[in-house]
Amino acid sequence: MTSGMQKTRLFFIDNLRVLLIVLVIAFHAGAPYAGVPWYTIPSETTELSEFVLGWLLTVWVAFFLGLFFMISGYFTPGSYDRKGSATFLKDRFLRVGVPFGFFVLVVMPSFSYFLHWLDSPGTLSYWQFLVSEYYWETHHLWFLVNLLFFAGLYVVWRGIANPLKKLNPPGNVSIFLFVLLLAVVTFVVRIWYPVGVWDPFKLVEPAYLPHFCGLFAVGVAAYRSNWIYKVPTRVGVTWLKIGIIAVFLFPVLYVIGERKFVPFIGGAAWRPCVFAFWETFVCVGMCAGLLILFRERVASQEKLGKVLSSNVYAVYLFHLLVVVSLQRALITMELHPLGKFVLVVAAGIPLSFLVSHCIRKLPLAKSIL
């Protein structure tokens, strides 16, 4: 397998996607126990849970979605080349746009009404709830909107420019310069759009847009130049080490932020600048490092791995319903927040895959999901 344009299945990327979706589930499982406002689940925190889960959630969000975008960028040029612009966009709409519309218009309003009914049974009909109580938003489906947006941008770009020429694989210096540029742009954007500030329709969080755009573009370039196989192992190992070192510097941020996250979220100050650089080193270090690690060490796949990887997209769509339901069931349980987090993760991961696997067996579902 010597060309990024071959159709051979890249099992190590499939395996990496399974890890990433597990982290997404764990991230949402930890939200209410880290003090994050979360649906109708009351915040349950202690100083220990805020520190531990704050550490984990901050690290995970620094890289897992960016890596998803990089993987998406990698597969975009080949799909476009095979299908052409019209079929490519049609397939993207069916694969991404249809599930997005169904979830935003049907699934999430219905699930939100179910949560409302648990708190106040019989007070409002479904339609009254939608009109007077429900806040229409994209929930976790914003990611799909961004995928569609990037796909559209790629089609426009291909319409006005030639495909990228092959480039030499990046070395440590090139990656370091990319990190510096990305960190500076991220810091500048966050002067006006701090972390947690969304557009009015909750389609994009500008604070993370530089990471998403940059890594999607890296994925596109990686396909054309076959970087996924040409980047030397030693480069991947170096950046994995850098990413891990940055991860373990989080307690330093915790101290200089006086045990609060607010000082880091944005603005023209030194703490947001430090955080933007720290987060970008975590992001690029873990993205490059994990990709090469899986290429070298997790490149095969057994039957279970194939089943799990085939369900990743459906798990992304449905896992939130599973996770929030489990969190809801544990509200009255007398247990430390970290204990609840462990329970939700331990049950939420297999249940999310099981639910998604069953749903994909329904007519038409498998062809889309």
Give the C-alpha separation, 346 to 29, whole Å: 10
Q: Is residue 272 part of a domain?
A: yes
The percentage of residues in the chain with a pLDDT greater than 70, rounded to a whole number, is: 98
Q: What is the pLDDT of residue 7?
A: 54
pLDDT above 90 for 29: yes
Give the C-alpha separation, 176 to 276, whole Å: 15
Q: What is the pLDDT of residue 369?
A: 81
Q: What is the pLDDT of residue 202?
A: 80
pLDDT above 90 for 260: no
**170 backbone φψ class: left, alpha, beta (φ>0; ψ -120 to 50):** beta
Q: Is residue 1 part of a domain?
A: no
Mean pLDDT of all residues in 183-200:
94
* Alpha-carbon distances, residue 53 vs 6, 21, 38, 66, 305 (angstroms): 41, 18, 14, 20, 28
* Gyration radius of the chain over CA positions: 21
pLDDT above 50 for 61: yes
Mean pLDDT of all residues in 60-67:
97
Q: Are 25 and 319 in contact (CB under 8 A)?
A: yes
pLDDT above 90 for 212: yes
pLDDT above 50 for 165: yes
Give the C-alpha separation, 279 to 179, whole Å: 10
Q: What is the pLDDT of residue 39?
A: 87
30 burial (CB, 10 Å; 0-12 / 13-18 / 19+) is buried
Q: Is residue 218 part of a domain?
A: yes
Q: Are 221 and 167 in contact (CB under 8 A)?
A: yes
Q: Is residue 4 part of a domain?
A: no
Q: Is residue 5 part of a domain?
A: no
Mean pLDDT of all residues in 17-46:
93
pLDDT above 90 for 40: no
Tell me the residue range of the domain where 363 lies. 11-368
Mean pLDDT of all residues in 187-192:
97
Q: Greatest CA separation found in the chain?
A: 64
pLDDT above 50 for 91: yes
118-127, 320-329, 348-357, range with the lowest pLDDT: 118-127
- How would DSSP label each residue in 232-280? -HHHHHHHHHHHHHHHTTHHHHHHHTTT-SGGGSSSSSHHHHHHHHHHH
Q: What is the pLDDT of residue 123?
A: 85
pLDDT above 80 for 366: no
The percentage of residues in the chain with a pLDDT greater than 90, rounded to a whole number, is: 82
pLDDT in tens, 288-313: 999 999 999 999 999 999 999 999 99
Q: Is residue 3 part of a domain?
A: no
Q: Is residue 84 part of a domain?
A: yes
Mean pLDDT estimate for the chain: 93
pLDDT above 60 for 6: no
Mean pLDDT of all residues in 151-178:
91
How many separate domains does the chain show?
1
pLDDT in tens, 226-258: 999 999 999 999 999 999 999 999 999 999 988
The DSSP secondary-structure symbol of 107 reads I
Q: What is the pLDDT of residue 89?
A: 95
Q: What is the pLDDT of residue 251?
A: 94
Q: What is the pLDDT of residue 42?
A: 86
Q: Is residue 79 part of a domain?
A: yes
Vertex 214 angle, CA 1 and 167, to 5°? 45
